[in-house]
Structures are given as C-alpha cells and as structure tokens.
Structure 1
Amino acid sequence: MPRAGLTADRITAAAADLADEVGFDKVSLSALARQFGVKDASLYSHVRNLQDLRTRIALLAGGEMIDRIAMAVAGRAGKDALAAFADAYREYALEHPGRYAATQIRVDQTVLTDSPALRRTAEITYGMLRAYGLEEPDLTDAVRLLRSTFHGYCALESTGAFGAPRDVRRSWERAVEALHVALENWPGQSLHH
C-alpha cells in the first residue's frame, strides 16, 4: 500500500530539489527514500524506476523553464523578445543547475508527444523566431543555433570556465546581439545544399 502523503508529483519535486543541491546525475531513489524516511520500495508505487524519475524531473524542469521564458517574452518581438528569452533561459540554468541538466537529457519521443510543456516550448520559440521571417527548414536550424549557443554558454559559465577579466554578463549580452544580427541576416535558400 502506498505511504500516505507520497505522490509521483511530490517525489518528482523533491528529486528536482535534490538535483539542484547535489547534481542531476547524483539523484537516486535511495537518497529520496532517505529524505522521505521510507524504504526504497515505497517509491516504486509512484515511479517505475530511476529513468522514469529522471524523465519526470526533465518534464517538470522544462515546464518551469518555459513558464519563465513565456513571462519574459510576453508582449515583446524581435531583439527585445530574443534578449528576454535568452536572459530567462540563462537565469533558470544558473539558478537551478540540477533541473537545468535534466532538461538536456534525451526523453522518449512518445512521452514528449504528450507533453504540454514541450508543445508550449515549441510554440513560444518558433513564434519568437517567426518574427525574423524564418520558415522551415530555417526555423529548425535557428532553434538549434540558439539552443547550442545558450546551452554552451551556460554550461561554460556554470563551471567558471570563462577566465578572462571581461564581465561574463556583458559577453552574454554581446552574444545575444550577435544572434539577433545573424537571425535578421539569415542566409538565403541559395546557400542550402
């Protein structure tokens, strides 16, 4: 019988908090069971296994992140929307390192298809990029450019890898400005192979 008070959502939220404290890769069912004062087996009434828990953390974090981004970009377009999107992304990644790491894992496609957070992420991201006049396949290419730039920057910043005396925030702002210029001047179809 499931222990009173334990739910999949409560376990997922605790796991996300633990991920931020100790790192996403260090989250275990045993550590969570200890936190709740139960045996590991008690958690299996609510989550199938560690992979299921990791997927749940990824979906929770993805939802939180896109909520923050959506609030930031609301009513904005073009460069203002891009800067607001980028800043909200970076702030979430730096404030919630474990949750953010969860958003980078590969999740089963059937799970993603049913995810309202993923649909919302696509709508907001593609909506912002359409203001630059982009259509497929350029939209997908632009999403990949933004994601790889944002993720790479945040991953490097979070480990203290930027050693130059230049202010990291100022470099971030310049990177976003450069992305805006790239999006406004996206290469035409004649350059596609």
Structure 2
Amino acid sequence: MAKRVGINRDAVVRAAAKIADDDGWDALTLACVAKKLRVRSPSLYNHVGGLEGIRRELKLLALRDLNTALSRATIGKSRDDAVRGLAAAYRAFVKHHPGTYAATMVAAPKNDPAVEAAAGQVVETCLSVLSGYELERREGLHAIRAMRSAVHGFVALENAGGFGIPLDVDKSFDWLVSALLKGLGASRPQRSP
C-alpha cells in the first residue's frame, strides 16, 4: 500500500465522515479509513485515538456542522418561519449526512467538555429559535425533544424508503411541521387581559 503524505486529523475525520455517509455508521472501521487514505491502519493513531477517537471526532464534526446548518437556516427569522427553517435544515442535514448524523444519536458524555459544549450549542440554537414562543427553558427543552424526535423519525422513514404511498413527501413534511407549530402555539403561556 503506497503511503500518502500530508495526512492530518481533519483529513482522517473527513474520510471517516465520507465512509459513514456513503456506507453507514456501522461500516466505519479503521481499516476502511486507512484504505481510503492509502495508509496503514496503525498510522491513523498518529492523528486519532483509534476507532473510538474517530467516532468522537465525527460526533464533534456532526454537532458543529449541524449547528452551522441550523443557524444559517434560521438567521433573520422568527417564530413559525424560524421553526420551519430549523426543521428543513435538520431534515436536509440528516438526508445528506446520514452516517455522520448517526454520531449525534447518543447524548454527549458528561466527561467530554468539547462534545458537551458542541451539543450544548445545538440546544442553545434551538432554544433561540423557540424564544418567540415565550416558553420557559424546561418547556423549550421538551419542545426540542419533540421536534427532534418527529423530524428524525420522518427522515429515518424517508431515507429507508418507508413512504411508499404516491403522495408528495415534501407536503407530508410540511404537514408534520405545521402540526408541531400548532403544538407550540398551544403550549404558549396565556396572558391575562
């Protein structure tokens, strides 16, 4: 195997992301990453802490990229428009980066400040989007869980080919988001006259 010069941590992580997105999270191995980079598996340890290290770096990459996508999609928007932008960006991220997204599925470990901070930034972006609904923080977190679960489930079915009925999937997604918005409106604190 010819050795490739110029490999760094970023190149290893980007190669791993490509493998995860193309072949699935479970297909990610040190051997696959080494082959893609045209190096021997042991040389990866110069850049990452084995497969566990690669998966940790992918989680960081996924959380940062997801947060960037969510932030860009919601800048300058408020309330329903912001939530629609958030949901659409989340859906697009999951559809285009299914293997990388899989790295976000487990909650951030409490003993990894970098991962916890990256996950916290995603949560804060989502809470910012929900600020127009005047929810208390705890209610906002419940809303984020509900939205994440709904959009995740929708895209998981979509990616797996689970929508066989000849009906516009984008319209179904809009319907889902509209239902979430109704729930947000219903949970908004009522002001006394």
Which residue number corresponds to residue 36 of structure 2?
35
Q: Does 1:56 align with 2:54?
A: no
Consecutive unaligned residues of structure 1, counting only runs of 5 or more, are 189-193
Letter in 2 for 1:162: F
Following superposition, the deviation at residue 63 of structure 1 comes to 1.0
Once residues 123 and 108 of structure 1 are traced to their aligned partners in structure 2, the CA distance between those partners, rounded to angstroms, is: 17
Q: Does 1:168 align with 2:169?
A: yes
Consecutive unaligned residues of structure 2, counting only runs of 5 or more, are none
Tell me the percent identity.
35
Which residue number corresponds to residue 147 of structure 1?
148
Larger CA deviation: 158-167 vs 80-89: 158-167
Which residue number corresponds to residue 68 of structure 2?
67
Once residues 99 and 10 of structure 1 are traced to their aligned partners in structure 2, the CA distance between those partners, rounded to angstroms, is: 15
Following superposition, the deviation at residue 15 of structure 1 comes to 0.4
Once residues 137 and 119 of structure 1 are traced to their aligned partners in structure 2, the CA distance between those partners, rounded to angstroms, is: 14
Following superposition, the deviation at residue 187 of structure 1 comes to 7.5
Following superposition, the deviation at residue 120 of structure 1 comes to 2.4
Which residue number corresponds to residue 136 of structure 1?
137
User: In the alignment, is the contact (CA less than 8 A) between 1:90 and 1:150 conserved in 2?
Assistant: yes
Letter in 2 for 1:70: S
Following superposition, the deviation at residue 99 of structure 1 comes to 1.3
| Offset from partner CA, 1:79-113 (integer Å, 9 cap, x none) | 000000000111111111111222213442232x3
Which residue number corresponds to residue 191 of structure 1?
none
In structure 2, the CA distance between the partners of 1:106 and 1:118, relative to structure 1 (3 Å rule), is: closer
Following superposition, the deviation at residue 34 of structure 1 comes to 1.3
| Offset from partner CA, 1:107-160 (integer Å, 9 cap, x none) | 42232x324532321221011112111003211211110111111111111101
Following superposition, the deviation at residue 30 of structure 1 comes to 0.6
Once residues 82 and 187 of structure 1 are traced to their aligned partners in structure 2, the CA distance between those partners, rounded to angstroms, is: 14
Q: Does 1:182 align with 2:178?
A: no
Which residue number corresponds to residue 89 of structure 2?
88
User: In the alignment, is the contact (CA less than 8 A) between 2:22 and 2:99 conserved in 1?
Assistant: yes
Letter in 1 for 2:8: T
- Residue 47 of structure 1 aligns to a residue whose secondary structure is coil
Once residues 54 and 107 of structure 1 are traced to their aligned partners in structure 2, the CA distance between those partners, rounded to angstroms, is: 12
Aligned length: 186
In structure 2, the CA distance between the partners of 1:152 and 1:179, relative to structure 1 (3 Å rule), is: same
- Provide the TM-score with structure 1 as the length reference: 0.89
Once residues 119 and 142 of structure 2 are traced to their aligned partners in structure 1, the CA distance between those partners, rounded to angstroms, is: 18
Larger CA deviation: 102-111 vs 163-172: 102-111
Following superposition, the deviation at residue 4 of structure 1 comes to 4.5
- Residue 167 of structure 2 aligns to a residue whose secondary structure is coil
- Residue 131 of structure 1 aligns to a residue whose secondary structure is helix
Which residue number corresponds to residue 9 of structure 1?
10
Could you list the runs of 4 or more consecutive aligned residues of structure 1 that deviate by over 6 angstroms after TM superposition? none
Once residues 63 and 19 of structure 1 are traced to their aligned partners in structure 2, the CA distance between those partners, rounded to angstroms, is: 17
Larger CA deviation: 129-138 vs 145-154: 129-138
Once residues 105 and 137 of structure 1 are traced to their aligned partners in structure 2, the CA distance between those partners, rounded to angstroms, is: 20
Once residues 118 and 131 of structure 2 are traced to their aligned partners in structure 1, the CA distance between those partners, rounded to angstroms, is: 20
| Offset from partner CA, 1:37-84 (integer Å, 9 cap, x none) | 221110011111212211111110121111111111001011000000
Once residues 54 and 9 of structure 2 are traced to their aligned partners in structure 1, the CA distance between those partners, rounded to angstroms, is: 9
Following superposition, the deviation at residue 178 of structure 1 comes to 0.7
